[in-house]
Amino acid sequence: MLSTNGRDGAGEDHGTIVLVEDDHNIAELVDLYLRNAGFRVLQAGDAARGLELVGQEHPCLVLMDIGLPGPMDGLEACRELRRRSDIPVVVITARDDEVDRVLGLELGADDYVTKPFSPRELVARVRAILRRTEAAKRPSEEPLSIGPVTVDPLRREVMVASEPVALTAREFDLLAHFVGNQGIVLSRQQLLDAVWGPGWFGDERTVDVHVRQLRRKLGDALPLATIWGVGYRCG
């Protein structure tokens, strides 16, 4: 069961949502409300098809009914989704006593609605979650500082005690990441993923080289500790 009606909808595009729900009436109702809210909706009647659509279409959110036909129920499908990605998941459940499980760490659903639910309320929850995840993805635009070092992400400027310091683009990104994650031990691999990007296949020593440059340019102003055998910690 596949509905792509949202494509020729009102022209708004707030992203694609995969809706996994075997109750046709509920699915159609939710589909209608989401399309009216500007989403493209792809329906799946069972968990396997739902996971397949998520893999193919890279939706911004998944709505998952718990009671589904076939070998895999919604709980198991959530678990599988969590193994693969951190896509937001809203669970649709018919039973109040399932709520603790679906919101628990194990399944990590972002929110839930209990049947019967108001489609309007569901759309409001979906919007709230997407706003939250979008905000979390956006890099901070406020200047950050640690000690005498100030990093301005918008101007891409670094000052030490009000004196500008010239950094390369990569040095700047690395410093901004350190200053934005103060007090946290970051492994070289985490730094590669965050600053160089997950598609970058390079040696972890690249990180050490850039750290040496930062230390040379910023000197004692930057409180950056080497955590032996792990990586680095700023502050």
Closest CB to Ca ion belongs to which residue?
Answer: 67
Cα 152 from chain centroid (whole Å): 24
* Residue whose C-alpha is closest to residue 130's, from 84, 87, 80, 85: 87
What secondary structure does DSSP assign to 142-179, as a single string?
S-EEETTEEEETTTTEEEETTEEE---HHHHHHHHHHH
* Contact flag: residue 108 with Ca ion (CB under 5 A): no
Give the residue with the Cβ less far from Ca ion, 98 or 171: 98
Please report how close the Cβ of residue 187 comes to Ca ion at its closest, in angstroms.
42
Judged by CB under 5 A, which stretch of 2-10, 67-75, 82-90, 129-137 contacts Ca ion?
67-75
Angle between helices 74-84 and 47-57 (to 10 degrees): 20
Judged by CB under 5 A, which stretch of 21-29, 45-53, 142-150, 181-189 contacts Ca ion?
21-29
* Contact flag: residue 67 with Ca ion (CB under 5 A): yes
* Contact flag: residue 98 with Ca ion (CB under 5 A): no
Please report how close the Cβ of residue 69 comes to Ca ion at its closest, in angstroms.
8
Please report how close the Cβ of residue 68 comes to Ca ion at its closest, in angstroms.
6
* Contact flag: residue 65 with Ca ion (CB under 5 A): yes
Per the DSSP assignment, residues forming a β-bridge with 224 are 234
Q: 34-58 b/e with 16+ CB inside 10 Å = b?
A: bbebbbbbbbbbbbbbbbebbeeee
Cα(102)–Cα(111) distance, integer angstroms = 8
Cα(210)–Cα(40) distance, integer angstroms = 43
Give the residue with the Cβ less far from Ca ion, 65 or 171: 65
Give the residue with the Cβ less far from Ca ion, 46 or 173: 46
Please report how close the Cβ of residue 147 comes to Ca ion at its closest, in angstroms.
56
Judged by CB under 5 A, which stretch of 32-40, 58-66, 78-86, 219-227 contacts Ca ion?
58-66
* Contact flag: residue 22 with Ca ion (CB under 5 A): yes
Preceding peptide of 116 cis, ω within 30°: yes
Give the residue with the Cβ less far from Ca ion, 31 or 65: 65
